[in-house]
Amino acid sequence: MTHEIVMAGFGGQGVLLVGQLLAYAGMLEEKQVSWMPSYGPEMRGGTANCSVIISEEPIGAPIIAEPTAVVAMNLPSMDKFAPSIKTGGVLIINSSLISTEPNRKDLVIYKVPANEIANEIGNSKVANMVILGAVIAATDAVTVDGAIKAFQKKFASKPKMFTVNEQAIRRGMECVINAGK
Amino acid sequence: MAEKILMKGNEAIGEAAVVAGCRHYFGYPITPQSELIEYMAKRLPQVDGVFLQAESEVSAINMVYGAAGAGARVMTSSSSPGFSLKQEGISYIAGAELPCVLVNVQRGGPGLGSIQPGQADYFQATKGGGHGDYHNIVIAPNSVQELVDMTILSFDLADQYRNPVVLLADGAIGQMMEPVEFREVTAKNIEKPWASTGLHGRSETNVINSLFLKPDECEKHNKHLQEKYAVIEKNEVRYESIHVEDADLVLVAYGITSRIVFSAMEKARKEGMKVGLIRPISLWPFPYKPIEDASAHAKAFLTVEMSAGQMVEDVRLAVGRTKPVYFYGRTGGMIPNSAEIYDQIVTIMQAKGGK
């Protein structure tokens, strides 16, 4: 299966990092991966998104026209990318910041209160890692062990961060599993 | 085997240059290649190299001229508008026959254009760009791994032929991340007895120069350059050919576009259409021969570029008038998707009855 995942939010929410960790985990699991950011004259608070492809086959175009899954960290991201998702695909929305109902009936939708969960854990910055956990549980694109290993490799110089981030990933997974995945 | 790492295209070019023995970099920042200059700023001091951010692109290319004249492995990089500024210096470097690697991470044009990926600098890169009869060797990778391998190759080709090599990338390859492997490199140690580094016991000085005031001497120099280009055209053509043997329709695309075209080709093959792909890797020298050979059995060609149609002129030169050569392009920083290319394939195949 080829996972074509778009992650979108506003600058500073950490969507580019989540995408990189997914790609990194895929690479560690011997899959073909690509990560492609949107880039432009943006500033903190502007929009940010990236496209991650994880596949068993060599990857052709690294650009995604019809995602198999979309993560929307805020409302403009949902408005922009929800219409492009493949029928039967996955939409994960950050329900801490999005109260509007998505208008697609042909998707598997997970509402994850990422900011609330992050605050419960005691670190508001790990909302993006909660979402990473949700993506893993919802898509099975990579394993949780792969994602945690990727995190530890990427942040090898900051071992103090491991526990809280792993906790966030696992809480995100639980959120999706409890929703009936 | 080295461990695979996930790396951004622009940074991968920088690390590959260091692996290839490049210790001198001069540049000026511009989107979408700024991560490369940033990487060199951090990396070169770690290996006792020289990183210098020049006050302009014009200045940077002339610093490259100087370092290359002293025999150093040297690189500069820019994106379309900045690369235009370097053209005078590139002509001088080509005239003085100096090796260097010049990276253009193309964006939409003309003018300041957009900062999104483009391929509209093909003419500039392959047909000269600056004044005078000269050629850059032009290499167009289509993945982050190829950026690494071909950056290293570019330094070798530059030294071997005493010629500037343009690594022609685009904003998409520069910005994307993919797994890369830095394989063990046996750096070719090419002697540079022509370099201007002091007499070392010789009595004649080495002069780095592109000025020949006497026209007969300038013509002689030109003939020598043309002879060199003929050798490069004979030895350094690189391309990839996929499913061309039985293809009714042959697609031609390079760089990031070739990957999007590949996806469209795969879909067409699944639908039973006989479609193949020729991907030029060296844009100069251009792979005319394999395209000409394919025209013996193919019914039509389709060139896809992120331009209004530049490489398609070389494809038409290769094919001649015997078979139709169609073109599909997006401009200004827009990237075609595989669905729109697939639609082009279907339209042509239906018209040709090639199924």
CATH assignment at residue B303? 3.40.50.920
Q: Do B263 and A20 touch (CB under 8 A)?
A: no
A49: left (phi over 0), alpha (psi -120 to 50) or beta: beta
Read off the tokens for B205.
């000085």
Q: Which of B67, B58, B74, B55 is nearest to B17 (CA)?
A: B74
**A49/B contact by beta carbon, under 8 A:** no
Statement to judge: residues B217 and B94 lie in one domain: yes
Mean pLDDT confidence for B71-91: 98
The parent domain of residue B98 ranges over 5-198+208-235
> Closest approach of chain A CAs to the CA of B51, in angstroms?
26
Interface test with A, best of B5, B6, B114, B266 (most A CBs within 10 A): B6
Residues of A in contact with B6 (CB under 8 A): 20, 23-24, 27, 33, 35
Q: What is the ipTM of this complex?
A: 0.93
Q: Do B256 and A62 touch (CB under 8 A)?
A: yes
Instruction: Please check the confidence at residue B253 and state whether its pLDDT lies above 70.
Output: yes
Half-sphere exposure (Cβ direction) of A18: Cα atoms closer than 13 Å = 34
Mean pLDDT confidence for A13-37: 96
In contact, A7 and A93? CB cutoff 8 Å:
no
**B112/A contact by beta carbon, under 8 A:** no
Instruction: Please check the confidence at residue A42 and state whether its pLDDT lies above 80.
Output: no
Statement to judge: residues B169 and B277 lie in one domain: no
Q: What is the CATH number of the domain that holds B56?
A: 3.40.50.970
In contact, B258 and B279? CB cutoff 8 Å:
yes
Statement to judge: residues B228 and B298 lie in one domain: no
> What pLDDT, on the 0 to 100 scale, is given for residue B9?
98
Q: Which amino acid is at B237?
A: V
Q: Do B179 and A33 touch (CB under 8 A)?
A: yes
Q: Which of B164, B152, B174 is nearest to B34 (CA)?
A: B174
Statement to judge: residues B221 and B267 lie in one domain: no
Nearest CA in chain A to B115: A40
pLDDT digits (tens, 9 = 90+) for B291-304: 999 999 999 999 99
Calpha distance B332→B69 (Å, rounded)? 37
Statement to judge: residues B32 and B138 lie in one domain: yes
Q: Say how many residues make up chain B.
A: 355
> What pLDDT, on the 0 to 100 scale, is given for residue B184?
79
Statement to judge: residues B263 and B331 lie in one domain: yes
Mean pLDDT confidence for A156-163: 94
Statement to judge: residues B252 and B188 lie in one domain: no
Mean pLDDT confidence for B2-25: 95
> What pLDDT, on the 0 to 100 scale, is given for residue B187?
65
Assigned domain for B30 exists: yes
> What pLDDT, on the 0 to 100 scale, is given for residue B110?
97
Mean pLDDT confidence for A38-55: 85
Statement to judge: residues B106 and B228 lie in one domain: yes
Calpha distance B235→A15 (Å, rounded)? 46
- Is the four-CA dihedral B203, B208, B211, B212 of positive or negative sign? positive
For residue B216, give Cα distances in angstroms to B91, B133, B212, B224: 20, 15, 9, 12
Task: Compute, in degrees rounded to 10, the torsion defined by CA atoms B333, B338, B341, B343.
Answer: -130
Calpha distance B249→B241 (Å, rounded)? 13
Domain boundary among B217, B235, B253: B235
Mean pLDDT confidence for B274-284: 98
Statement to judge: residues B156 and B48 lie in one domain: yes
> What pLDDT, on the 0 to 100 scale, is given for residue B1?
55
> What pLDDT, on the 0 to 100 scale, is given for residue A65?
87
Calpha distance B251→B275 (Å, rounded)? 7
Statement to judge: residues B37 and B127 lie in one domain: yes
At a CB cut-off of 8 Å and minimum separation 6, what does B176 contact? A34, A35, A36, A37, A62, B8, B9, B144
Instruction: Please check the confidence at residue B353 and state whether its pLDDT lies above 60.
Output: no
Pairing of strands B249-252, B275-280: parallel
Statement to judge: residues B81 and B119 lie in one domain: yes
Assigned domain for B230 exists: yes
Read off the tokens for B83.
């690369």
Mean pLDDT confidence for B81-91: 98
Q: What is the pTM of this model?
A: 0.95
CATH topology of domain A3-178: Pyruvate-ferredoxin Oxidoreductase; domain 3 (3.40.920)
Statement to judge: residues B41 and B134 lie in one domain: yes
- Is the four-CA dihedral B54, B58, B63, B64 of positive or negative sign? positive
- DSSP-derived secondary structure for B46-82: GGT-EEEE-SSHHHHHHHHHHHHHTT--EEEEE-HHH
Assigned domain for B203 exists: no
Nearest CA in chain B to A40: B115
Mean pLDDT confidence for B29-41: 97
Q: What are the boundaries of each domain within chain A?
A: 3-178
Instruction: Please check the confidence at residue A100 and state whether its pLDDT lies above 50.
Output: yes
> What pLDDT, on the 0 to 100 scale, is given for residue B354?
46
> What pLDDT, on the 0 to 100 scale, is given for residue B286?
98
Mean pLDDT confidence for B213-219: 98
In contact, A117 and A125? CB cutoff 8 Å:
no
Lowest mean pLDDT among A37-46, A78-87, B155-164, B342-351: A37-46
Query: Per the structure, how many domains does chain B have?
Result: 2
Instruction: Please check the confidence at residue B153 and state whether its pLDDT lies above 80.
Output: yes
Mean pLDDT confidence for A68-82: 96
Calpha distance A127→A139 (Å, rounded)? 18
